[in-house]
Structure 1
Amino acid sequence: MTTKDRQIERRWEQLHVWGPYGLLGLSVVLAVAATGLHDRSVKWYLGWSLVGAAVALQLWWHGTRSRRPGRGRIPSRAGTVYYVVRWAIAFVLTWLNGFFAFYAASGYMDADELIPGRWQRLGLFASAVTVAGAQAGGMPFGSGGQWILFPPLLIANSGLQMVVAHLQEQETRRYHERTETITELERTNAALQQALDENAALHAQLLVQAREAGVADERRRLAAEIHDTIAQGLTGIIAQLQVVANTTDPGAARVHLGRASELARQSLGEARRSVHNLAPVALEHDGLPEALKKTVADWARRTGVRADFTLTGTAEHLHEEISATLLRIAQEALSNASRHAHAARLGVTLSFMGDEVSLDVRDDGRGFDPAAVPERTRSGGFGLDGMRARAERVAGSLTLESEPGHGTAVSARVPLVRHDR
C-alpha cells in the first residue's frame, strides 16, 4: 500500500468515526434554532434524552473500534447492533424534529462496514425512509400531499444510495484486487532479489573456482616453460662447460665458452619473461585502462608501428583477476603482432558494456589462416590457445578473425566483476 493510499484510508476512517458526531451536533443546532429553548414539554425532554443516548452509543462504538484495530471496518454482529440502534434513535428524533434527518443520513456512510452481505441494502433503505419522511415535511404525515411526496422521495433516496453502494462495492473490489496485485509483485520482487543474490554468490564461487583452476594451469604452464626453455638452456650450458673442461685447444674452449654465455643470456631472458608473465607489474600502480594505454604506447615505440588505444563506456575498477587476464591477453596479442603480422597500424579497444568487458586487438598486417593456428602455437610462446584458456578461466571467451592479406582481429569478452573494496 502506497503512502497516498494510507492517507486516503486514514481520512475515511476519521470520517466514519467523527462523522456521526458532526451530523448529530448539526441536527441539534438546527433543531434548537428552529424551536428555541423555552419548550419544556415531554417531547422536548424525550428529544434531549435521545440525544444523550446517541452520544453514549457513539462513545461505546468508538471504544469498541479502538479495542479491535483493523477489524472495526469489518461487518460484525456488534456493528449490526450499533447500526440498528442508531437508526432507531435517529428515526424517533426525526419524528420529533425533521432536522435530525441529518443525523439519520449517517446511515448512508458506513452500512457497508457495519452490516454483512445483502442486509446492507435493507439498512440503506431504512435510512432512506427516515430521510425521505423528513424531506416530505416531517413525520407523522398530516396531509395527503405529504403521502404523495413520500414515495418519489423514498425512491430517489433509495435509488441514489443503491447506486452509490454499488459503485463503492466496485471500488472496494478494485482496491482489494490492486492490493493483492501489489502484494504479489512484492513477493515476486523478493523472489527475484533472492535469485539475483544466489546468482551473485554462485558467480563469485565460480570465479573463485576458476581462479584456483587458473592457478593450477598457470603452474603447469610455468613448469612446461621452465622445462622447455630454462632447463634446456642450463643443460646446454653444462654440456658446453664439460667440453671446455675436457679440451686442451684454447680456440675450441673460447668457442664453447661463447656458446655457453649465449645460452646463459637466453635463459636469463626466458626467466625474466616467465616472471613477467607471472606478475603483471603494469597493474601495480594503474588500473586496467591506464596499464593498457602505456603498454600500447611502449609497444609502438619499440616496433615503430602506429598503435592507438581507445576506451569506450564508463571505466570501472575491475577485480584483479579480470584485469590481469585482459592485460596478459593484450600483451600476447601485441607480441604475436610484432612477430608475425608485419602491420603498419594496430588498434586496441577496451569496452565496458554493462555486465561485460570486451578487449579487441586489430591490425592491418598480412593475416593468416586460422586453421593453421595449432601448428603455429606449438612453435613456442603463449600463443592463441593460451589466450583463449586465460579468458575461459574467468568465464569469458576469445574469438579470432583473420584472413591472409587482410589483417587479424582478436576479441576477448569476460564478465565485469568489480574489485572488492
Structure 2
Amino acid sequence: MTAADTQIERRWEQLHSLGPYGLLVTGAVLSAIAADMMDGVGEWYAAAVLVAAAFALQLWWNRTRHRRANRGRSPSRAGTAYYVVRWAIAFALTWINPLFGFYAATGLMDADELIPGMWRRLGLFVTAVTLAGSQMGGLPPKNGGQWAAFAGLLVANFGLQTVVAHLTEQEERRSLDPAATIAELERANTALQQALDENAALHAQLLVQAREAGVADERRRLAAEIHDTIAQGLTGIIAQLQVVANAPDLPTARTHLDRASALARHSLGEARRSVHNLAPVALANDPLPEALKGTVADWAERADIRAEFTVTGTAEQLHDEVSATLLRIAQEALSNASRHARATRVGVTLSFLGDEVILDIRDDGQGFDPLTVPERTRTGGFGLDGMRVRAERIAGSFTVESEPGHGTAVSARVPLVRHE
C-alpha cells in the first residue's frame, strides 16, 4: 500500500468515526433553531434522550470498531446491530423533527461495511424512508398529496442510493481483482518454488542412483567382457596345452602349440581392445556378418567341430553396440558347445528381418534340462544368464530350447539399429 493509499484510508476512517457526530450535532442545532417544529416539552425531552443515546451508541461503536480494526471492514453481527439501532434512533428523531434527517443520512455512509449481502438493500430502503419523510417536512404524511410526495421522494432516494451502491460495489470488485490476482500469483510462485526445490532434490537423487546403477552395470559388463575374451582364451590355451601334453608325436604337439600361440595372441588383442573400449577385435575392420563368419571358422578349427554360418535377409551395417552384443553371444554359445555339449555339428544363422536381427546357434550335442540352468549358473561363470543380460541390455530377448539327448538351440532377438 502506497503513502497516498494510506492517507485516503485514514481519511475514510475519520469520516466513519466522526461523521455521525457531526451530522447528529447539525440536526440537533437546526432543530433547536427551528423550535416551533416540536410540540411541547415532551418532544424536547424525547429528542434530548435520543440524542444522548445516539452519542452513547457512537462511542460504543467507535471503540468496537477500533478493536475489530485488524479484521478489516467486513460486515458483522455487531455492525448490523449498530446500523439497526442507529436507524431506529434517526427515524424517531426525524419523526419528532424532520431536520434530524441530517443524522438519518449516516445510513448512506457505511451500509456496505455493516450489512451483509442482500440485506444491504433493505438497510438502504429504510434509510430512504427516513430521508423521504424528512424531505417531505415530517412524518407521518397528513393527506393524499403528502403521501404522493412521500412515495415520489422514497422512489427517488432509494433509486439513487441503489445506483450509487451498485457502482461502488463494482468499483470495489475492480480494485480487489488486482489484489486477488497478485495474491494468487504469489501463491503460485511459492508453489512453483517448492516444486523446483523438490525437483532439484529429486534430480540430485536420480543422478546418484543413475551413477550407482551405471557403475554396477559397467562392472557387470566388464566382468562379462573378461569372461567372454580373456577367460575363454585362457580356457582354449589350457585345452590345447593339455593335448600337447598327451601328443603322441612332435608334429601333433607343434600343431596344438601353434593353435595355443594363436589363441594367446588373439586373447591378448581382445584384452587390449577391452581395456581401450571393450569392443571385440573381430569388429575392428569387419561388419558383423564377416566377423561372425571368421569367429565361427576359427572356433571350428580350434574345437575340431564342423560348423556352418549362414546369413539371411539383406545384411546392413549395425550399430557398434548391437554388433558387439551379438558377437559376444555367439562366442559364448560356441564356447558352451565345445565345453559342455559334446557336439559334432553346429549351425549359426544371422537373420536380418526388417526392424530386428536374430542370431540362432544350434548344436547336436547332449542337451540339458533348461530348468537346471539356475543350479548350474550358481557354480560360477556367466553362460546363459550372461547372454540373456547382454540381449536385454539393448532391449532384446534371449531364449533357450534344449532337451537331454536332443541338442540345444539358443536365439537372441534384438532391434535393428543401424550404424550412425
Q: For this structure pair, what is the TM-score category when the shorter chain's length is used for normalisation?
A: 0.3 to 0.5
Question: Which structure is larger by alpha-carbon Rg, 1 or 2?
Answer: 2
- TM-score normalised to the size of structure 1? 0.45
- TM-score normalised to the size of structure 2? 0.46
